[in-house]
Chain A
Amino acid sequence: MSNNSLVSISDYSKEEILAILDSAAQFEANPNRKTLDGKVIATLFFEPSTRTRLSFETAVIRLGGSIIGFSDAATSSSSKGETLNDTIHMVSCYADAIVMRHPLEGAARYAAEVSPVPIINAGDGANQHPSQTLLDLYSILKTQGTLENLTICLVGDLKYGRTVHSLIMAMSHFNPTFKFIAPDELKMPDEYKVFCRKKNIAFTEVNELNENFNDADILYMTRVQKERFQDLMEYERVKNVYTLYNAMLDNTKPNLRILHPLPRVTEIDPDVDSNEKAYYFRQAQNGLYVRQAIVSKVLNQPSNG
């Protein structure tokens, strides 16, 4: 196994997280370098994810590296029944690192165990998606100037939303206060509340979105997914309760920023987009610099070359 793999945000210490964010800032200042000249990075997307794949591929190309891979399992040898083990061994003959998205949970941990080259997990089912978490942290740091002592409201699907679970893990290093805002069907699972209590992290739970975030520094919105509901009437009710409108931001703190991992559907009304507190599109752009930092770290390449 290559120890440089990034499978889960919990693989990184607080110091490593801060080093990645520092490196991302250097890439933002100067995103076009040739530090990966001659390197080949494979992007293996066993399920489609256009945003994440384009972001990783752009990160590599802007650093002078080359890309091989596939964007859909239907066009790969796994459609012929090849095991993940075999695919990873084959690809590692050609590539210096592998960026992988896979629908099965745990696929990235397993790939990292069998692969001679570093694996970067670009999402394994509903499990982990650490580059998303790091770009969330980078966005929080950039907009707030610090990661310490912030009040963060997590809104929407807190039950199945892997981005919010990983964000709790990552922010636990920085003494946050959380507010969990979710309908009963999609409440934060107990294991994360147990985790917060163990780490002495203050949190409150509410089930109405309206104006419960006036003390927040970060409002982290997630998509309420229709397929999570057994009762579609309930979905229709919840969907409308969990929509953020511009008028709801009148009494919020001036430093509040709204994040969303995207794609959004109805949970943020387009009238919020022009508000200076809306940060979700710039958040997506930050993904490029963070992914440049991640690829450089797993390949032991400098960020200031």
Chain B
Amino acid sequence: MSTKELKVAALRNGTVIDHIPADKLYKVVSILHLDTCEHQITIGNNLDSAKVGKKGIIKISDRAFEEDETNKIALIAPNAKINIIRDFVVVEKRPLILPEEIREIVQCTNPVCITNNQPVATRFHVQKHDSEVMLKCHYCEREVQRDKVKIK
């Protein structure tokens, strides 16, 4: 473990989410509902990173996440790294895979979409046009570019 990472307390067991772009850190917190999580959480932000400039890191003690939970992060921080730690050792490096469908965490940008006006959970289909990733609302069919999505 490098000294750089030790700026944030080491973790015995749990999950480390590293290399989050600094401006996306609190969105990751919100997507994983860490604001209501009762486990010990260490959050570092604006740490120096050769890869992303300023990065954020989140360490959650004694908690494992399902893959479909961590994959939600792929939407806003596709290059974040998920490490599962046991006894201070990384036992799994989990790749982030953008799901084909994203439910609930994204808000439709269309003000007259049914999901913005009635109690309807959002659903988006992930579509690739050439190199561009677009999210298409399952209901109003409006498309939005990945980097313009609104996280609820």
A contact residues vs B (CB 8 Å cutoff): 8, 83-85, 102-107, 109-110, 124-128, 191, 194
Known interface pairs A110-B114, A125-B112, A194-B129; A105-B139 also in contact (CB < 8 Å)? yes
The A-contacting residues of B in range 114-132, CB under 8 angstroms, are: 114-115, 117-120, 129
Which A residues lie within 8 Å of B112 (CB)? 103-105, 125-126
**Docked-complex contact A128 and B117, CB < 8 angstroms:** no
Chain A min CB distance to B138 (Å): 7
Q: Is B98 an interface residue (CB 8 A)?
A: no
Q: Which of A102, A104, A125 has the most CB of B within 10 A?
A: A104
The smallest C-beta distance from B6 to any residue of chain A, in angstroms, reads 48
Q: A104-B112, A104-B113, A105-B113 are in contact. Are A125 and B118 (CB under 8 A)?
A: no
Residues on B with C-beta less than 8 A from A127 are 140-141
B143 touches A106 (CB 8 A): no
Q: From the candidates A104, A128, A194, name the one contacting B141 in the complex (CB within 8 A).
A: A128
The 8 A-B residue pairs whose C-beta atoms are closest, nearest first, are A106-B139, A105-B140, A106-B140, A106-B114, A104-B114, A107-B114, A109-B139, A110-B114
B118→A104 contact, CB < 8 A: yes
B110 CB-CB contact with A under 8 Å? yes
15 examples of A-B residue contacts, CB within 8 angstroms: A84-B114, A84-B118, A85-B119, A85-B120, A104-B113, A105-B114, A105-B140, A105-B141, A106-B113, A106-B115, A106-B138, A124-B114, A125-B140, A191-B143, A194-B129
- Are the CB atoms of B138 and A109 closer together than 8 Å? yes
Q: Does B142 contact A (CB under 8 A)?
A: yes
Contact A110:B141 (CB < 8 A) given known A85-B118, A104-B112? no
Question: Shortest distance in angstroms between A178's beta carbon and chain B's nearest beta carbon?
Answer: 19
Q: How long is the Cα–Cα vector from A213 to B51 in the complex, in angstroms?
A: 55
A106 vs B117: C-alpha distance when bound (angstroms):
11
Chain B CB within 10 A, most for which of A103, A106, A124, A194? A106
Known: A8-B141, A110-B118, A110-B120. 9 other contacts (CB 8 A): A104-B114, A105-B112, A106-B113, A106-B120, A109-B114, A109-B138, A110-B139, A125-B112, A191-B143
Q: Roughly how many angstroms separate A109 CA and B114 CA in the complex, as a whole number?
A: 9
Q: In the complex the two chains form, is B119's CB within 8 Å of A105's CB?
A: no
Q: Size of chain B's interface in residues, with CB distance under 8 A?
A: 17
Output the nearest chain A residue to B142 by Cβ-Cβ distance: A105
Interface string of B126-152 (1 = CB under 8 A from A): 000100000001111111000000000
B137 touches A106 (CB 8 A): yes
Residues in A neighbouring B117, C-beta threshold 8 A: 104
Q: Roughly how many angstroms separate A102 CA and B117 CA in the complex, as a whole number?
A: 12
DSSP class of B's interface residues: helix, strand, loop or mixed? loop
- A102: nearest residue on chain B (CB-CB)? B114
Q: In the complex, what residues of A have CB within 8 A of residue B129's CB? A: 194
Q: How far is the CB of B99 from chain A (nearest CB, A)?
A: 19
In the complex, the chain B residue whose C-beta lies closest to that of A78 is B118
In Å, the complex CA distance between A218 and B102 comes to 40
CB distance from A121 to the nearest CB of B (A): 12
Quote the shortest CB–CB distance from B65 to chain A (angstroms).
28
How far, in angstroms, from A126 to B137 measured CA to CA in the complex? 14
User: For the complex, what is the distance from the CA of A106 to the CA of B122, rounded to whole Å?
Assistant: 11
Docked complex: B29-52 residues within 8 A CB-CB of A: none
Report A-chain residues with C-beta under 8 Å of the C-beta of B115: 106
Contacts of A102 in B (CB 8 A): 114
Which residues does chain B contribute within 8 Å of A128, judged by CB atoms?
Answer: 141
**Distance, CA A103 to CA B113, complexed state (A):** 9
Residues of A within 8 A of B113 (CB): 104-106
With the chains together, A60 CA to B17 CA distance in Å? 59
Cβ of A194: which chain B residues have Cβ within 8 Å of it?
A: 129
How distant is A273 from chain B, measured CB to nearest CB, in Å?
Answer: 35
Give A128's nearest chain B residue, CB to CB.
Answer: B141
What is the bound-complex CA distance between A104 and B143, given in angstroms? 16
Q: Which single residue of chain B is at the shortest CB-CB distance from A104?
A: B114
Instruction: Using CB atoms, name the residue of chain A closest to B119.
Output: A83
Minimum CB–CB distance from A265 to chain B (whole Å) comes to 23
